[in-house]
Structure 1
């Protein structure tokens, strides 16, 4: 049986027919029939280029309807979609292309020029350009295609998407999500969040991230509802479109920025039935303010690239502020003590998960995959949490030093490796510090081997040249030495305490 996830989308779209599917940033509209026709044409163009089932299709493109249709067409063609953050610099892109070895790399003209050597070395058919309006000439070529034809046959265990997550050693890992992973998570969320064909999702998220690419959009596609597809988050535009919407998904930064706008009130949110927050912890203070201003309790959920959504506060039962809710349908969650035994109710421990949406593994990294799973098949998230007596999960910290800034994951080691090359820097430690807008801000604490003027500007400039903008430190602090424990390891908890009020 063909388990290509696009066949689920195909079935839904055929039933929806002429019903509106997507409203673009300029007001352009696409129906479900348009979705079928465009993705069929794009998939055929990929095939004629030489893309085979199982080939990787990498994309570093700005958000646009055509960019999203490219993702769907890649699934339809049986290939593997590899979304890449538009903020990534040449140093980062070179690694992603060398690791994934895509058949084609969709990007802007500027990116193609900056990454010419890497493209020639690692991309089979080279680059295909998206223009500033979000169109690609290669995909727009007229070809004969059948809009309602079935997707290329794939097994449920075949990889559909590879999404890279930063690595604690500085080397990113590609999480392999299968067609079964997508189907399981998409169906559970569509049902759990009560999506129907009358819903309208306000989409202001990027599409190089799991949250915007498929966690949100699959709910729309499987329920035959509509999405208002904004180019990016802009508080003014969001306020304008909220009265037309029934659901909004966002990261905490979205909600803090809305709360900062005096025009955000109950009247603006009158048609919305559900606000969802994820990708980073939502401050309880923000939740309380949101409730007071709108009457809505934001539904907080918990997920990660390696598994999509893991837990969610229930739609029609108690939503506990400060909790990320209960395991979604099909997912199991346990909290373990340091010795591997089950933690007691209320006791903090490592969060481990199991279920049909957990990734197949890390691309080209079998040893790392094996390390991240327990002997009995549970995936170790690296997060710390506790369960209450009703099974609600509370995230209390991270076992790793991950920083989540504006909803994006930043692993300190990757930033430290760049900072340590700066002239005058002896060593560095990168931490996350509470920030009113970003949730956490990246902060670099450095020790100098010799006095250096304007070291802060130099470090930040070097990071901007080599790293995506969200990884660049918001502040650089110079210290005489880094705090260490008896084993010589840097005590980042102490650095976080010392700098806790930096942005307050």
Structure 2
């Protein structure tokens, strides 16, 4: 990249040691103190990460702050308390993130000046033990305030060695990162692993590759990248770019160097991802198994379980969503039966738990969360529902709190979201759909709620209604339940750097009433439009129609509000067996002599 900067590992060390000397001169710095790094630039994060390490302090990688002023200030207050009044360093370009509060007073790194021109870097002497925190990473805080995960020296080294054993890479190639260094995968799986292997690493802004997938492919080819990652949503973007013959893709593109495209953070749709793997292989020379779905968490130093047999294993086993494979060295997994804490049999669902040398030991300053996170025998409770099949491959089947339960029938949100995406609805932005359950007051069951990012302008009511109808149809075909559908703006549907939208945050905000005005406005617009167009939901107009409505609802397990009397029953996901049941019920209760007014 012409506008990029190249920095050797020797230059990085020298610069970090000089910075460490400057940091050590400030009044706030003491050995082993926590230092919150808040930068929006890859290079700044890397240079000052090592500067803090050379100052013998513990770096804490700050996550991006929200645009919501009130929430941002609460987050800063929480960090101040959680991290016990940490030192905070930032750049002049990121200083505005701290405006409107005086809880954290960051040090601007551009303002650090040596006391004398003869000041020399300090020689690095660590006072840490192998089990002490080397880095502290913040969780997303999707279900509440962020937790601080202590990653020890010993744990990080075990994780890097395990990751390096998954796929042997040509050391003449490079690693490519495009997500923030606040994410554990970018810091440990890319930056530190590349250093461990003595390989080059390329860092580019996320916005550059997300907006232009062809640039990702060009960078891989140009810099001979062997290791990078692409979540499911980004693989879909790559597919679209390749299949549309994107003119931005360089004509001499060669991906024979790309050995390992890790994919995680969300479920991988087998069919879609296998198409991408096939395109990368046949058009550009990548290995057939270049896409490697996996599982990991901040607590496991990112990816720790990998499927090296994708897509062959998954296609042969008819999996709609890719398996996550087997454990790398340094981690063990098990599935236990819910409530009884005994091991589940192969293919039996239960709670996923992990242990091993790559697993963290504690959350910082949060003993209760640490205690809650582990079983009595020391296994970490991931919070995922899973099965381990007879071949020892892991498959997630949902989060324990994300299952949607409608009249005793359970649905997985990501499967409904995939169904909506695959419907190719013009008014809904691909991969910006969130499905969750909500139980209205006095309701006997939960109801599916769908939130989506519209592609149409707010004043285009026709497109709004058409999108609503299309989403309702897609969900009813899957669940026979009419969902509540609400468009939200991009700020409400913010993605993490790995492409995840927090269902928990959306659900909390909805329950708190944050979207009440949007709901009222949306309902009014749709109702008014349908009234003008004569499309308002029709109510039964006779005893016969009321009878038929009851029978259809009974067979399909729907409520009256879920259907319109003019709806086609085939749009509700009815099966041939359901039709036979419906016919028999009607014949049984509607004798030939029975008449309705």
TM over 0.5: yes
**Larger Rg over CA atoms:** 2
What is the Cα deviation at residue 221 of structure 1?
0.5
Q: Which moved more, 1:241-250 or 1:189-198?
A: 189-198
* Corresponding residue of 2:55: 77
The residue aligned with 2:216 is 238
| 1:302 equivalent among 290, 295, 317 | 295
Task: Tell me if the contact between 1:206 and 1:212 (Cα under 8 Å) persists in the aligned partners.
Answer: yes
Instruction: Name which of 81, 93, 99 aligns with 2:82.
Output: 99
Q: Distance in 2 between matches of 1:29 and 1:140?
A: 25
Return the offset for 1:252: 2.2
Q: SS of 2:278's equivalent?
A: helix
SS in 1 for 2:433: strand
Q: CA deviation at 1:212?
A: 1.2
Q: Which is richer in strand?
A: 1
Q: Give the structure, 1 or 2, with the largest relative contact order (CA under 8 Å, sep 6 or more).
A: 1
The RMSD of aligned alpha carbons is 4.0
Mapping for residues 267-346 of structure 1, pairs under 5 Å: 267-295=253-281, 296-297=288-289, 298-308=291-301, 309-314=303-308, 320=314, 322-338=322-338, 339-346=340-347
CA distance in 1, matches of 2:48, 2:403: 31
- Deviation larger for 153-162 or 317-326: 317-326
Q: 1:247 aligns with which of 211, 227, 230?
A: 227
Give, in angstroms, the shift of residue 473 of structure 1.
5.4
Q: In 2, distance between residues paired with 1:27 and 1:151?
A: 33
The SS at the match of 1:170 is coil
- The unaligned stretches of length 5 or more in structure 1 are 1-23, 131-135, 404-430, 481-493
Shift of 1:448: 9.7
Contact between 2:62 and 2:182, CA under 8 Å: does it hold in 1?
A: yes
Does the aligned pair in 1 maintain the 2:176–2:190 contact within 8 Å?
no
Query: Match of 2:445?
Result: none
Query: Residue 300 of structure 2 contacts residue 360 of structure 2 at CA under 8 Å; is this kept in 1?
Result: yes
Q: How much does 1:87 deviate?
A: 3.9
Change (3 A) 1:318 1:127: same
Q: CA deviation at 1:56?
A: 1.3
Structure 1 residue 146 displacement after superposition: 5.1
Kept in 2: contact 1:441–1:473 (CA 8 A): no
Provide the rounded CA distance (Å) in 1 between the counterparts of 2:336 and 2:183. 29
Contact 2:20-2:121 at 8 Å conserved across structures: no
**Count of residues in Structure 1 that have an aligned counterpart in Structure 2:** 418
Name the counterpart of 1:260: 240
**What TM-score do the two structures reach when normalised by structure 2?**
0.61
Q: 1:94 to 1:113 in 2, by over 3 A?
A: farther
Could you say which structure has the higher helix fraction?
A: 2
How far has the Cα of 1:336 moved from its partner?
Answer: 0.5
* Distance in 2 (alpha carbons) for counterparts of 1:354 and 1:324: 17
Secondary structure class of the residue paired with 1:362: coil
> Deviation of residue 459 (structure 1)?
7.9
Output aligned runs, 1:32-431, within 5 Å.
32-49=9-26, 50-89=28-67, 90-91=72-73, 92-109=75-92, 112-113=95-96, 115-116=98-99, 118=101, 120-121=102-103, 123=104, 126-129=105-108, 136-138=110-112, 144-145=119-120, 149-167=123-141, 170-232=144-206, 233-234=208-209, 235-243=213-221, 244=223, 245-261=225-241, 262-263=245-246, 267-295=253-281, 296-297=288-289, 298-308=291-301, 309-314=303-308, 320=314, 322-338=322-338, 339-401=340-402
Take 1:379 and 1:351, find their aligned partners in 2: how far apart are those partners? 9
- In structure 2, relative to structure 1, the CA distance for the partners of 1:72 and 1:198 (3 Å cut) is same
The Cα offsets for residues 32-73 of structure 1, whole Å up to 9 and x where unpaired, read as 211211221222222222422321111221123122121222
Q: Distance in 2 between matches of 1:402 and 1:35?
A: 47
